[in-house]
């Protein structure tokens, strides 16, 4: 028997991720809640999209040349995406990351061949912040480009052209609401812009963790944070270039406890092992679904982003001692050990 395999390039594996109806969240919201399975990307996160878009844009502008280096400051997932894309295209990678991120992310970056630079976590105004450190390293490294994911709008463009278009097709042109958290802002702004181009009545909601300032900004016009969160890769204290002009209609603030509740339920009930950012996104989608039902929309359909795999957080979210040390609820199945 002859088997003919489709021909393509490895980078074609980025994007076109599956969409799944989430039974528990749908029941809770009283409408259909869908999750875009971004953990199905080669680097196991939504950030593969931004990595590919930023690198292709730098090539098109002639800024990134053969044998060059890509430098970026990241909480981890963008760095992993950049390292994979860079390997496929023959570039080197230097990643600057706060040293409080999960050890799995650090080990993964090293395994992928990236040069990893760890710095203490600090406020953006501090010149030693991981973003500023990565910019300086790019300036000091011959043949290097700075990815600048927070303020490089090639980031949100891949979501306008890719993620939003995929959602529209997968949901047969019927989307009542979309929500997710913001890190760089590329996903929420890009998907929001792309969906609004197709239907201005789609409600775009920001789902913000505690400790971030965007909930207050979109609710009251003031960048003000309250509380804190252990979620990695989400939460923002400024309006990045990617967030500028984001079509946010409403906003929700979700606690780590609520987000972890959904992480536990999605694993126990639906077999999805996800990170906390996904749990927070799902909690926001439930709130948006309830809001649309209350407003009288008939069987609204809401989509969100399942950002990355929970296997990236085995030493943190899926570790009973770590959860207890953060005064967070410990998953009940740990008590069986």
Interval 89-145: pLDDT, tens: 999 999 999 999 889 999 999 999 999 999 999 998 999 999 999 999 999 999 999
Identify whether 152 is part of a domain: no
The count of structural domains within the chain is 2
CA-based diameter of the chain, in Å?
66
Rg of the chain over all Cα atoms, to the nearest angstrom: 19
Q: Which of 116, 146, 176 is the endpoint of a domain?
A: 146
Residues 77 and 26 in one domain: no
Q: What percent of the chain has pLDDT over 70?
A: 97
Q: What is the pLDDT of residues 191-239, one digit of tens each?
A: 999 999 999 999 999 999 999 999 999 999 999 999 999 999 999 999 9
End-to-end alpha carbon distance in the chain: 49
Judge whether 26 lies within some domain. yes
Query: What average pLDDT does range 16-36 have in this prediction?
Result: 98
Sheet containing strand 144-146, edge to edge, reads 115-119, 92-98, 69-73, 144-146
pLDDT for res 75: 82
Same structural domain for residues 119 and 230? no
Can you give the pLDDT at residue 172? 97
Structural domain boundaries, residue 35: 10-44+163-331
pLDDT of residue 1: 41
Q: Which of 111, 146, 181 is the endpoint of a domain? A: 146
Task: Assess whether 18 and 96 both reside in one domain.
Answer: no
Q: 91 and 74 in one domain?
A: yes
Domain-located, residue 4: no
Q: What is the pLDDT of residue 306?
A: 98
Whether residue 278 sits in one domain with residue 246: yes
- What is the rounded average pLDDT of the residues 283-311? 97
**Which residue, of 113, 146, 179, is where some domain finishes?**
146
Beta carbons within 8 Å of 48's beta carbon, 6+ residues apart: 14, 15, 38, 41, 42, 80, 81, 84, 85
**CATH number of 95's domain:** 3.40.50.1100
**Catalytic residue list:** 47
Please state, for a pLDDT cut of 90, what percent of the chain lies above it. Answer: 94
2, 1, 42, 34: which is closest to 18 by C-alpha? 34
Q: Give tens-digit pLDDT for 298-325.
A: 999 999 999 999 999 999 999 999 999 9
**Confidence grade of residue 8 (pLDDT, cut at 50, 70, 90):** confident
324 and 211, same structural domain? yes
Tell me the pLDDT of the chain averaged across its residues.
95
Residues 21, 86 within the same domain = no
At residue 3, does pLDDT exceed 80? no
């Amino acid at each position: 028997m002859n088997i003919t395999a489709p021909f393509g390039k490895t980078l074609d594996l980025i994007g076109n991720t599956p969409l799944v109806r989430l039974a528990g969240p749908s029941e809770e919201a009283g409408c259909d809640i869908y999750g875009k399975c971004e953990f199905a990307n080669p680097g196991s996160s939504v950030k593969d999209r931004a990595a590919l878009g930023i690198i292709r844009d730098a090539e098109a502008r002639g800024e990134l040349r053969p044998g060059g280096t890509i430098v970026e400051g990241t909480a981890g997932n963008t760095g992993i995406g950049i390292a994979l894309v860079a390997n496929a295209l023959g570039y080197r990678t230097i990643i600057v990351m706060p040293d409080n991120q999960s050890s799995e992310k650090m080990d993964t970056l090293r395994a992928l061949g990236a040069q990893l630079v760890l710095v203490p976590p600090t406020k953006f105004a501090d010149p030693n912040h991981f973003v500023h450190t990565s910019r300086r390293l790019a300036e000091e490294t011959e043949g290097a480009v700075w990815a600048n994911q927070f303020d490089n709008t090639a980031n949100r463009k891949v979501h306008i052209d890719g993620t939003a278009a995929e959602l529209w097709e997968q949901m047969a042109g019927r989307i009542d609401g979309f929500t997710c958290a913001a890190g760089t802002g590329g996903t929420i702004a890009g998907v929001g812009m792309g969906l609004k181009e197709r239907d201005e009545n789609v409600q775009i909601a920001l789902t913000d963790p505690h400790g971030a300032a965007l909930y207050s900004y979109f609710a009251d016009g003031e960048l003000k944070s309250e509380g804190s969160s252990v979620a990695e890769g989400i939460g923002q204290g400024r309006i990045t270039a990617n967030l500028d002009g984001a079509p946010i209609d409403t906003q929700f603030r979700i606690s780590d406890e609520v987000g972890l509740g959904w992480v536990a339920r999605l694993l126990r009930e639906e077999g999805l092992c996800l990170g906390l950012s996904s749990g927070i996104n799902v909690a926001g989608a439930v709130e948006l679904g309830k809001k649309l039902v209350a407003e009288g929309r008939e069987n609204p359909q809401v989509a969100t982003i399942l950002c990355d795999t929970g296997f990236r957080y085995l030493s943190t979210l899926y570790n009973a001692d770590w959860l207890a040390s953060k005064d967070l609820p410990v998953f009940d199945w740990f008590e069986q050990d």
